[in-house]
Amino acid sequence: MSLKPKEMNFSDTWGDLQKTVHGVITLSNIPRYVWQDRFADVYQLCVAYPESLADKLYIETKNFLDNHVKGLLEHLSTLSHDNIIYNYYECWRRYNKGIIYLHELYSYLNNQHIRKNKLSEAELIYGNHPIDDLEQMEIGELGLEIWKKNMIEPLQGSLVSAILECINQDRNNNGHLINAEVVRGVIESFVAVNKFKKRNNIELYRTLLEKPLVAASGEYFRSQADIWFQNCTITQYMERVIKLFEEESVRCQRFLHSSSHAIMKQCCEKYMVEDYLCALYNEAKSIISQERQQDMANMYILLRSVSKNLIPYMTEFKDHIIEEGLQRLNEIKGDNMCMSFVEIIMSIYRKYKEMIEKIFQSDKNFTSALDKACISIVNYSPDNKSYKSSELLAKYCDQLLKKSSKGLSEMEVDEKLTDAIIIFKYLDDKDMFQKFYSRMLAKRLIHQNSQSMDAEESMIDKLKTACGYEFTNKLHRMFTDMKISEDLTEKFNSQYLPDKRVVLSLNFHVHILQAGSWPLGQTNITSFTIPQEFTQSMQAFEKFYNCQYNGRRLTWMYHLSQGELKLCYLNKVHLITMQTFQMAILLLFENTLTMTCSEIVNTLQLNWDQFLKNCVTLVECKILLANTKELENDTVLSLNEKYYNKRTRLRITASLQKETPMETTQTITSVEEDRKLFIQATIVRIMKSRKLLKHNALIQEILSQCITFNPSISMIKKCIETLIEKQYMERARNSRDEYSYIA
């Protein structure tokens, strides 16, 4: 075949070509050589000499296809109307396939003639060219365009109503439509005829099918919802709606273009959920309060796609958790309040966390509702004044870290401490907890009451992670002192004493604490004349210590010291660990059988409160006998010669080492003092940089900077007043609610 342009006889060539075109479009068998010849003919016509016959070829082809499709339409109208979509679909399937082949046959015309004269995509999208009907289309597009005009347009009414009918049948038959493939094919043809279009190519599908379908479906959903709602319980209603959602979703997949899925879903939700929101919310309370899990899950499914619809539901959920939490906390009784406190909160936390995973598909919104609920529960305080939660949580940690007979494994202790951290994160008064914790830690360390140093340090690491190093810094200092003290004791006993050839009358240990690093409090400091039995060791140690360190003075904290006293006057020897004051009291009986309280107090120079506390314990555990019920000045005390305990070694210090209510008050006061100072410093810092600030803006800034506690507004106001008095700031002259920094 020569590619050289030559003169062509159009009507002869077209005559042959036309037959082949007909064959192609009707999917007849075309021999290969015929195909190749006609392919060449298209080429030759396009490049014909002296002028191209391409336009002529285009017009003839267009006319041919036009007539062909008209013929098909006529043929269809002779067939039964009942089968219209089936017949249409058959025609379309063949025609669509034929057109694809025809497009191939006209490749040269498409590529060299038509495409070159076409507007570029950019021109179409950004330019302002009117879509020109007369513009030539590639043959594939032309064929589809003609189909659209000559077939779809005349038939659209019947086709669409037939499709809607089919979809309706599908709904009524639980998705068992016989001719699903046909329906899908017809719907696809609405999209396919525009497949060459660069934009708006689903427009036809939209207006022709989607709109009426959504309208009809909406009507269907509305009436279904109405019927179900009238006749069903809420449980059934939700189940049916969810089932319908699922079915409709499958139906969309089966029949519709993907762009319609979301629209159909919205349509479902509008008529079956949005229109019934009030009714659903009304039921939410009882569903949640009865914890009907399946209903809860179903309601979540119904509400979740519009996040604002979830809000009242989440609030209901949150309120339910709070209600349960507070109710259970109110029922706490007994000695072990701190354990119950943590256990209750953790059981609620775990229960609802699991529920969120299971029922609410780990929805973050619900997790934050749980967090909010936990914050309310943990920080609930009926009188807004006591810092019970901080104290209980610290006590809980104390109990776990203390030596005890509970027999928890290290793992169990660690898990329980991890629970404490979960609650700690919800705690508003973190500073208060910190203070309680550090005081209890100090006592554990000083009284050698810690179960394990590893556990202590692991808890401090956890706190550090949760709240930063500032707090744990001081705690670490306490550990360092303990370590140093151990070394000092060792050095004193195994080097210093042998070197000096001193033998002590007792086994001597020390804890040397750096004043200021330990939250010891001042309440228990008392005068005290230490019995001479102790002084030898103390003086020897002080000498040793002064050799070790320059310029330091030791102050003995007798109320924190304890020792083991051997009772030799009984049938059986007892070794009893007790407080120093108690040892001192018992030592007085060495040379006498009886003593009055006031004699003891005078000899030891002990204040009455301290004496009373220590002595009461000795009386209560029956080491001493008293001749009055209450200890008075002239109560006569004597050694109980018949004292017996089945254990040889025991300690009677526990009650004395407990946190007293007075210490608790002291702790609270000192934290409140710290808070005031912190707020004042914060205000000054803010005002220094802002110079002029509205009251509310100042309050907001302060609140945002208080991380370890939630200051009350009244406390902030008091701090502002203080600073105005101190003339750090003043009320702005022109504005009532504004402050200015004095500079």
Rounded to the nearest whole angstrom, what is the least distance from the CB of residue 288 to another protein in the complex?
Answer: 48
Residue pointed to by tokens 């009532």? 736
Question: Of all helices (H) and strands (E), which one includes residue 692?
Answer: strand 692-694
- Closer of 128 and 507 to another protein (Cβ): 507
Binding part of the chain for another protein, among 259-267, 323-331, 343-351, 515-523 by CB under 8 A, reads: 515-523
- Report whether 478 contacts 441 (CB < 8 A): yes
Rounded to the nearest whole angstrom, what is the least distance from the CB of residue 625 to another protein in the complex?
Answer: 15
Q: Which of 250, 408, 506, 692 binds another protein (CB under 8 A)?
A: 506
527 binds another protein (CB under 8 A): no
- Closer of 223 and 473 to another protein (Cβ): 473
Binding part of the chain for another protein, among 207-215, 286-294, 330-338, 529-537 by CB under 8 A, reads: 529-537
- Closer of 263 and 554 to another protein (Cβ): 554
| Exposure b/e, 85-104, CB count within 10 A at least 16 = b | bbbbbebbeebbebbebbbe
Rounded to the nearest whole angstrom, what is the least distance from the CB of residue 504 to another protein in the complex?
Answer: 9
Structure tokens at 705: 């900077």
- Report whether 163 contacts 62 (CB < 8 A): no
Binding marks (x or -) toward another protein, 43..82, rule CB under 8 A?
----------------------------------------
Q: Which of residues 458-497 bind another protein (CB under 8 A)?
A: 473-474, 477, 480
- Closer of 228 and 541 to another protein (Cβ): 541
Q: Which of 511, 524, 698, 719 binds another protein (CB under 8 A)?
A: 511
- Closer of 199 and 552 to another protein (Cβ): 552
Q: Which of 322, 586, 624, 693 binds another protein (CB under 8 A)?
A: 586
Rounded to the nearest whole angstrom, what is the least distance from the CB of residue 304 to another protein in the complex?
Answer: 48
- Closer of 305 and 517 to another protein (Cβ): 517
Does residue 50 have a cis peptide bond before it, meaning omega lies within 30 degrees of 0? yes
Q: Which of residues 632-661 bind another protein (CB under 8 A)?
A: 639
742 binds another protein (CB under 8 A): yes
Q: Which of 149, 508, 599, 695 binds another protein (CB under 8 A)?
A: 508
Binding part of the chain for another protein, among 61-69, 147-155, 237-245, 583-591 by CB under 8 A, reads: 583-591
Q: Which of residues 664-723 bind another protein (CB under 8 A)?
A: 680-681, 684-685, 688
Binding part of the chain for another protein, among 311-319, 428-436, 507-515, 613-621 by CB under 8 A, reads: 507-515
Rounded to the nearest whole angstrom, what is the least distance from the CB of residue 463 to another protein in the complex?
Answer: 18
Rounded to the nearest whole angstrom, what is the least distance from the CB of residue 549 to another protein in the complex?
Answer: 7
Among 214, 61, 66, 228, CA closest to 145:
66
- Closer of 162 and 445 to another protein (Cβ): 445
- Residue 723 makes CB contacts below 8 A (sequence gap 6+) with 680, 683, 684, 729
Longest dimension (CA), the chain: 148
514 binds another protein (CB under 8 A): yes
Among 216, 209, 18, CA closest to 102:
18
CB atoms within 10 A of CB 552: 10
- Report whether 71 contacts 153 (CB < 8 A): no
Burial of 303 (0-12, 13-18, 19+ CB in 10 A): buried
Among 486, 482, 496, 478, CA closest to 537:
496
d(C-alpha 463, C-alpha 470), whole Å: 10
- Amino acid of residue 617: T
- Residue 477 makes CB contacts below 8 A (sequence gap 6+) with 514, 517
Rounded to the nearest whole angstrom, what is the least distance from the CB of residue 456 to another protein in the complex?
Answer: 18
- Residue 444 makes CB contacts below 8 A (sequence gap 6+) with 398, 401, 402, 450, 456
- Closer of 370 and 585 to another protein (Cβ): 585
Q: Indicate the angle between helix axes 84-105 and 10-25, nearest 10 degrees.
A: 140
Pairing between β-strand 649-651 and β-strand 574-579 as defined by DSSP bridges: parallel
Sheet with 594-596, edge to edge strand ranges? 594-596, 636-639, 624-626
- Closer of 448 and 710 to another protein (Cβ): 448
Q: Which of 81, 552, 622, 691 binds another protein (CB under 8 A)?
A: 552
Q: Which of 165, 533, 620, 634 binds another protein (CB under 8 A)?
A: 533
Q: Which of 187, 510, 618, 624 binds another protein (CB under 8 A)?
A: 510
- Closer of 123 and 470 to another protein (Cβ): 470
Query: Rounded to whole angstroms, what are the CA distances from 568 to 164, 267, 419, 504, 594?
Result: 105, 92, 47, 20, 17
Question: Of all helices (H) and strands (E), which one includes residue 230?
Answer: helix 211-231
Among 395, 451, 384, 456, CA closest to 423:
395
Q: Which of 189, 390, 561, 667 binds another protein (CB under 8 A)?
A: 561
Q: Which of residues 431-460 bind another protein (CB under 8 A)?
A: 446, 448
d(C-alpha 402, C-alpha 657), whole Å: 12
Q: Which of 49, 549, 608, 644 binds another protein (CB under 8 A)?
A: 549
Q: Which of 258, 550, 704, 714 binds another protein (CB under 8 A)?
A: 550
- Report whether 150 contacts 69 (CB < 8 A): yes
Binding part of the chain for another protein, among 158-166, 269-277, 314-322, 547-555 by CB under 8 A, reads: 547-555
Binding marks (x or -) toward another protein, 266..305, rule CB under 8 A?
----------------------------------------
Total residues at interface with another protein (CB under 8 A): 64
Handedness of CA 237, 243, 247, 248 (dihedral sign): positive
Q: Which of 137, 232, 557, 699 binds another protein (CB under 8 A)?
A: 557
- Report whether 604 contacts 581 (CB < 8 A): yes
Structure tokens at 677: 């100072």
- Closer of 125 and 692 to another protein (Cβ): 692
Q: Which of 513, 604, 624, 652 binds another protein (CB under 8 A)?
A: 513
- Residue 108 makes CB contacts below 8 A (sequence gap 6+) with 39, 42, 43, 46
186 binds another protein (CB under 8 A): no
Residue pointed to by tokens 């504004």? 738
568 binds another protein (CB under 8 A): yes
Binding part of the chain for another protein, among 292-300, 514-522, 627-635, 695-703 by CB under 8 A, reads: 514-522
d(C-alpha 587, C-alpha 23), whole Å: 126
Structure tokens at 503: 């033998």
Q: Which of 110, 389, 580, 708 binds another protein (CB under 8 A)?
A: 580
- Report whether 139 contacts 109 (CB < 8 A): yes
- Report whether 60 contacts 14 (CB < 8 A): yes
Query: Rounded to whole angstroms, what are the CA distances from 658 to 395, 398, 412, 431, 526?
Result: 11, 11, 24, 21, 18
d(C-alpha 438, C-alpha 449), whole Å: 14
Q: Which of 182, 393, 565, 668 binds another protein (CB under 8 A)?
A: 565
Structure tokens at 25: 């479009």
Binding part of the chain for another protein, among 1-9, 27-35, 535-543, 609-617 by CB under 8 A, reads: 535-543
Rounded to the nearest whole angstrom, what is the least distance from the CB of residue 470 to another protein in the complex?
Answer: 9
- Closer of 352 and 558 to another protein (Cβ): 558
Q: Which of 392, 520, 624, 626 binds another protein (CB under 8 A)?
A: 520
Among 472, 359, 466, CA closest to 421:
466
Question: Contact positions toward another protein, by CB under 8 A?
Answer: 446, 448, 473-474, 477, 480, 505-518, 520, 533-534, 537-538, 541, 545, 549-558, 560-569, 575, 580, 583, 586-587, 589-590, 639, 680-681, 684-685, 688, 727-728, 742-743
